[in-house]
Structure 1
């Protein structure tokens, strides 16, 4: 059993990559998605679940995990939604329309209807913990028997998520049958610890540690693109990440106190409006800055995506980039690294546009 307990996602990934790149006892596995180096049996612990975003040069991503989180929260299985944030998703699951293994409908109900009716798996878990703090039954099963033979290539990697209250804090444990260490692990840690903090706020509890067990924790070997599979540079990417050394410790801000679901519903509305073309959608003025920041990140992502579709040069100063710079001044500085990372080159005049932000 491989075990790692660290304060931040970056520290956790560094230990994981070291094991997969140089550790003893690994396996080489040839699966349907290609060859990989595997640790069979891993238990990872994140001591501070808010330190859920990488601060590295190569893995500093906030837009795609945030988009995936709100895909879950919306109870959606639509590929059109998630490919806005993860463009190669349709190729990964071999379906342009429906993600059969989507987590959102399983946790919150299709289009989150069960969540609004109080009949979702999530609501059952919350009721269970309110009725008995010592319960060991606050569990959501993601993987189902029918997933053994999916309609397309989309088979859930997550088996269960489980919550427990201990010493006034909400703990969370996720178990996965399979986890891609380079691409999947950072996204999974982000989305699941965000769900943990949402549940903690809904229950009025402190945020405890997050644990993450995996049967097959693996790193794919580099491979060229094929007709049915995108190129994979996971091993060389992990090597580059490890060469970066240690990274600064910058947790996300704390989620505001109180039940967060009214705010989440407003962000869901804003995300949908912005993603589908209303880039100037105005959020309610009484929304806490914590949630307003997410809306602005969705707006910035849409701006960058529209520029990419037009073939705009991100190295040239443009009105859209001036708008991004203005937004950066108004949101938490924790997110500036991820916005600047979307720029192709930090050269004048774009460099000059952004260097005085904050």
Structure 2
């Protein structure tokens, strides 16, 4: 097993890419060549350093936020997430839903009869030393469902150790270029929401993949990532306590932006207002409103503005 540690996702991304290119095996799942390392793990010691700033990667903060909020909504609807990423309909079996949607499995009771997130909160409050606080995503039925969207994540586990909330994620498969950046963003944001609910500080975030890989079509980008050094990584601010009232309002605002385009939405805490402004920037970007896009970017800290698009949508 290979296990690495880092303090930022930029640092970890570079280390993973180097290991894959230096030691990865050549295999061809689904007819596509990859460099692969099995039983691969890494630990992010500072989970708020979850964003990737290497300009060769071009992480899309608007999509990261949109996907995370889609999870919190507990939905599997394709139209919601395709508002942020046009590729998602390619993975829908019926053009309407995503079979493997994480939010449906974590924040809805339709599949299990209870909400997994709420059950895990109760477990951790009842027994802070528990080892049973596991959110299950990949289930046995996924082995027999002929779907284009089989979950890559197996489970998310929370452990309270040394008075801090650790998060451990196990994935069957992980693509370091397309997938890892957004997976880590969403999962560490979930870790922070859970820590705020429990009144705890965040511990490290650990990530394991049965198959960590890079596709041949991404090799030029990988080389550019390794050759780029003129950038600065930033740590996100600490999430305010009692996040759910603000999150519920944020989900209402997100829906209004998505359905109506322009909405006046404000939240009391600057932390959450930044998310509103990111959503508004996305709306402006989609509508081709350059003036509002520039205006929204000016309201955001540079650590966020740097990850917004520099040009308007061209579709």
1:177 deviates by 0.5
Structure-1 residue corresponding to 2:311? 343
For residues 1-50 of structure 1, the C-alpha deviation after alignment (integer angstroms, 9 at most, x for no partner) is 111100001000000011112x22x2212112612110011111001000
Q: TM-score, normalised by structure 1?
A: 0.83
Specify the structure having the higher radius of gyration (Cα).
1
Distance 1:331 1:178 in 2: 34
Structure-2 residue corresponding to 1:329? 298
From the superposition, tell whether residues 45 and 95 of structure 1 become closer, same or farther in structure 2 (CA, over 3 Å). farther
Report if the CA contact (8 A) 2:67-2:81 is conserved. Answer: yes
Runs of 4+ aligned structure 1 residues displaced above 4 Å come to 110-114
The reply to whether residue 262 of structure 1 matches residue 230 of structure 2 is: no
Report if the CA contact (8 A) 2:32-2:215 is conserved. Answer: yes
1:58 deviates by 2.4
Distance 1:132 1:75 in 2: 26
Report if the CA contact (8 A) 1:108-1:122 is conserved. Answer: yes
1:323 deviates by 2.1
Which moved further from structure 2: 30-39 or 135-144? 30-39
Distance 2:178 2:187 in 1: 15
Distance 1:299 1:40 in 2: 40
Report if the CA contact (8 A) 2:109-2:115 is conserved. Answer: no
Distance 2:228 2:256 in 1: 38
The reply to whether residue 122 of structure 1 matches residue 121 of structure 2 is: no
For residues 282-319 of structure 1, the C-alpha deviation after alignment (integer angstroms, 9 at most, x for no partner) is 235xx211111111111111111122xxxxxxxxxxxx
Structure-2 residue corresponding to 1:313? none
Structure-2 residue corresponding to 1:17? 17
Structure-2 residue corresponding to 1:31? 29
Structure-1 residue corresponding to 2:39? 41
From the superposition, tell whether residues 190 and 88 of structure 1 become closer, same or farther in structure 2 (CA, over 3 Å). same
Unaligned 5+ segments in structure 2 are none
Report if the CA contact (8 A) 2:93-2:99 is conserved. Answer: no
Report if the CA contact (8 A) 1:109-1:120 is conserved. Answer: yes
Structure-2 residue corresponding to 1:145? 140
1:81 deviates by 0.8
The reply to whether residue 240 of structure 1 matches residue 221 of structure 2 is: no
Distance 1:134 1:77 in 2: 33
Residue 282 of structure 1 is aligned with which of 265, 275, 284? Answer: 265
> What are the within-5 Å matches in structure 2 for residues 217-256 of structure 1?
217-222=212-217, 234-245=218-229, 247-256=231-240
Report if the CA contact (8 A) 2:55-2:231 is conserved. Answer: no
From the superposition, tell whether residues 327 and 108 of structure 1 become closer, same or farther in structure 2 (CA, over 3 Å). same
> What are the within-5 Å matches in structure 2 for residues 37-186 of structure 1?
37-59=35-57, 60-93=59-92, 95-109=94-108, 119-186=114-181
Residues paired across the two proteins, number = 311
Report if the CA contact (8 A) 1:266-1:283 is conserved. Answer: no
Report if the CA contact (8 A) 1:102-1:156 is conserved. Answer: yes
1:168 deviates by 1.1
SS in 2 for 1:211: strand
Distance 1:281 1:150 in 2: 42
Distance 2:28 2:205 in 1: 30
Q: CA RMSD in A?
A: 1.9
For residues 225-281 of structure 1, the C-alpha deviation after alignment (integer angstroms, 9 at most, x for no partner) is xxxxxxxxx22111111111364131111101x221111001100011001124123
Q: TM-score, normalised by structure 2?
A: 0.94
Report if the CA contact (8 A) 1:27-1:39 is conserved. Answer: yes
Distance 1:153 1:323 in 2: 37
Distance 1:32 1:112 in 2: 29
Unaligned 5+ segments in structure 1 are 223-233, 308-319, 345-358
